[in-house]
């Protein structure tokens, strides 16, 4: 059914959010939607602690990796001031930075900001989190995993120098030279935090406050690892976890000192929707430039869908299909303990921008943001979201893709790809999935009845002999181990 009036759209979204949150059992959610330079819908659902305190629209959440776009906006502002360029060498601002087997002159800030520095998924963030965890009630399994991470860590990863040292001397192999591969790297954004510090001559926290939050009126946003400063702003959510089938909240915010601009901003749905709205208008709102240089974050330097998704500077461009039409959505998601978030805008969509924040890490919030974009564009709620080529014929030589693939970031993971019945199967710790060929070297790891997400998308990279040596799952690249 076509929804013509704004009131019809908001009512449809409110019903959808209520039903979805109830069905998925999400503890607390806030949403803010802007269009044409105005806030058109802001709402809150559920609770912000296990004592049943109602969620409110001004509740502050961690936004996790949504922070990356804000950090890059700070870099863009500094670039507009002539203090830095995305095309500068990274070691100009981070003395001593060396990535194994990569000439330092070839590693640019651009590569760090696009996850194309050649840095594979590394365990450094997991080590930092494990060594700075706030004491909380953990299950025996959680405690065992935490202890294992502490034992294996060669550093507590207290500072940016620890990351620099590991990139220089650590036990890993680069994926390739800068620009060859895109593989999501939290470590690269930790380095970007230091780039901002040194380029501005003042800490990232102050740069964000003066160049982003204050100009945009984001009065409830702050870069604050342990949330102590955010809590003083009032109305901050607690963090939910599910133990033995029941939710329990705590205030044990994840802490990883060198990863500030990577994922540690605290904000509200309203503030983040305002940020994405400013980006959608190229940094100009109401005839006033509030985010200088914002266009560079997702502009012509990066490929446009529908050819494929593209990681820009702290943002992702995705093809978006709704009502039989194709759009481009620019967005980012985030996840940490007690944090599941997503926000963005429709490119050339008249300022349609939104943010959805939840206080449970395992919450699937993508369908909520997808519904917002679909409805605000005047299309049905069930319009598809991520576009990926549809399955076609089986691969001619499936054996070229078989093998064990590994990555060891926050969640160490092995994927075994095997032949089965003339096709391919992907086996992981949580079970096996059929791999459906989607043309070239792309596949879908299909789960019947499940909405396809980024991590269901597989792309193999072949060497000169035609054998797969690397596998991208979602946004991370796994290395073949045999």
Q: Which helix (H) or strand (E) holds 437?
A: strand 431-437
Could you tell me which of 178, 172, 164 has the C-alpha nearest to residue 117?
A: 178
Give CA–CA dist 380/16, Å, rounded: 11
State the Rg of the chain over Cα: 22
The full DSSP string for 77-123 is HHHHTTS--TTSBGGGTSTT---TTS-GGG-BHHHHHTT-SSPPP-S
**DSSP 8-state secondary structure symbol assigned to residue 295:** G
At the top level of CATH, which class does the domain 1-387 belong to? Answer: alpha beta
SS3 261: helix
Give pLDDT tens digits for 213-258. 999 999 999 999 999 999 999 999 999 998 888 999 999 999 999 9
Q: How far apart are CA 61 and CA 358, in angstroms?
A: 8
Residue 14 has which token pair?
Answer: 């409110």
Per-residue pLDDT of the chain (482 residues), as tens digits, is 556 799 999 999 999 999 999 999 999 999 999 999 999 999 999 999 999 999 999 999 999 999 999 999 999 999 999 999 999 999 999 999 999 999 999 999 999 999 999 999 999 999 999 999 876 667 777 788 888 889 999 999 999 999 999 999 999 999 999 999 999 999 999 999 999 999 999 999 999 999 999 999 999 999 999 999 999 999 999 999 988 889 999 999 999 999 999 999 999 999 999 999 999 999 998 889 999 999 999 998 998 876 678 899 999 998 888 888 889 999 999 999 999 999 999 999 999 999 999 999 999 999 999 999 999 999 988 755 666 778 888 888 899 999 999 998 866 688 999 998 878 999 887 778 899 999 899 999 877 666 666 678 899 999 999 999 999 998 999 999 97
- pLDDT on residue 261: 96
Residue among 233, 231, 235, 227 nearest 254 (CA): 227
Q: How far is CA 271 from the centre of its chain?
A: 18
Helix (H, G, I), strand (E, B) or coil at 250: strand
Q: DSSP assignment, residue 475?
A: T
- Residue 99 near residue 223 (C-beta atoms within 8 A): no
B/e letters for 409-443, b = 16+ CB within 10 Å, e = fewer, are bbebbebbbbeeeeebbbeeeeeebbbbbbeebbb
Q: Using an 8 Å Cβ cutoff, are 23 and 16 in contact? A: no
Neighbour count for residue 165 (Cβ, 10 Å): 16
Backbone angles phi, psi at 38, to 5 degrees: -135, 150
Q: What is the DSSP letter of 411?
A: S
Helix (H) or strand (E) holding 461: strand 457-462
Domain spans, the chain: 1-387, 398-480
The pLDDT, as a whole number, for residue 355 is: 98
Contact 377, 323 (CB under 8 A): yes
471: tokens are 């596998």
Give the other-Cβ count within 10 Å of 194's Cβ. 23
Tokens of 392: 């076609």
Q: How far is CA 328 from the centre of its chain?
A: 17
Query: For the domain 398-480, what is the CATH code?
Result: 2.40.128.50
What number of helices (H) and strands (E) belong to the chain?
13, 22
Q: Phi and psi for 43 in degrees, rounded to 5?
A: -155, 165
């Amino acid at each position: 059914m076509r929804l013509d009036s704004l009131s019809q759209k908001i009512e449809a979204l409110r019903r959808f959010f209520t039903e979805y949150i109830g069905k998925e059992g999400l503890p607390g959610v806030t949403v803010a939607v802007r269009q044409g330079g105005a806030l058109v819908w802001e709402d809150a659902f559920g609770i912000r602690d296990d004592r049943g305190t109602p969620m409110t629209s001004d509740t502050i959440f961690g936004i996790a990796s949504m922070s990356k776009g804000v950090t890059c906006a700070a870099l863009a502002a500094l670039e507009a001031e002539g203090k830095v360029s995305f095309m500068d060498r990274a070691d100009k601002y981070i003395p001593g930075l060396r990535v194994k087997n990569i000439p330092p002159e070839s590693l640019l800030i651009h590569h760090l900001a696009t996850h194309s520095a050649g840095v594979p998924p590394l365990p450094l963030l997991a080590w930092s989190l494990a060594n700075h965890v706030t004491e909380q009630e953990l299950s025996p399994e959680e405690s065992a995993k935490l202890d294992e991470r502490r034992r294996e860590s060669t550093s507590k990863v207290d500072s940016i120098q620890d990351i620099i040292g590991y990139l220089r001397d650590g036990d890993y192999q680069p994926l390739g030279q800068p620009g060859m591969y895109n593989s999501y790297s939290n470590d690269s954004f930790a380095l970007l935090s230091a780039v901002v510090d040194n380029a501005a001559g003042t800490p990232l926290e102050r740069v964000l406050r003066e160049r982003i939050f204050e100009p945009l009126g984001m009065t409830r946003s702050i870069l604050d690892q342990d949330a102590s400063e955010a809590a003083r702003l009032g109305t901050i959510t607690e963090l939910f976890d599910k133990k033995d089938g029941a939710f329990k909240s705590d205030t044990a915010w994840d802490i990883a000192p060198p990863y500030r601009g990577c994922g540690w901003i605290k904000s509200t749905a309203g503030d983040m929707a305002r940020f994405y709205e400013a980006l959608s208008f190229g940094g100009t709102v109401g005839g006033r430039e509030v985010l200088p240089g914002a266009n560079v974050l997702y502009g012509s330097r990066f490929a446009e869908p529908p050819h494929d998704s593209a990681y820009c500077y702290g943002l992702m461009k995705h093809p978006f299909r709704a009502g039989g039409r194709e759009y481009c959505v620019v967005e980012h998601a985030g996840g940490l303990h007690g944090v599941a978030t997503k926000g963005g805008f429709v490119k050339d969509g008249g300022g349609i921008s939104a943010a959805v924040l939840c206080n449970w890490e395992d919450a699937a919030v993508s369908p909520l943001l997808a519904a917002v974009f679909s409805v605000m564009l005047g299309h049905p709620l069930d319009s598809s979201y991520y576009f990926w080529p549809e399955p076609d014929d089986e691969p001619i030589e499936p054996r070229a893709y078989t093998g064990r693939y590994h990555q060891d970031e926050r969640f160490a993971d092995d994927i075994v790809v095997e032949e089965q019945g003339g096709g391919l199967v992907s086996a992981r710790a949580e079970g096996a999935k059929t791999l459906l060929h989607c043309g070239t070297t792309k596949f879908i790891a299909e789960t019947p009845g499940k909405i396809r997400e980024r991590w269901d998308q597989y792309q193999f990279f072949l060497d000169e002999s035609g054998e797969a040596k690397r596998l991208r799952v979602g946004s991370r690249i796994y290395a073949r181990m045999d």
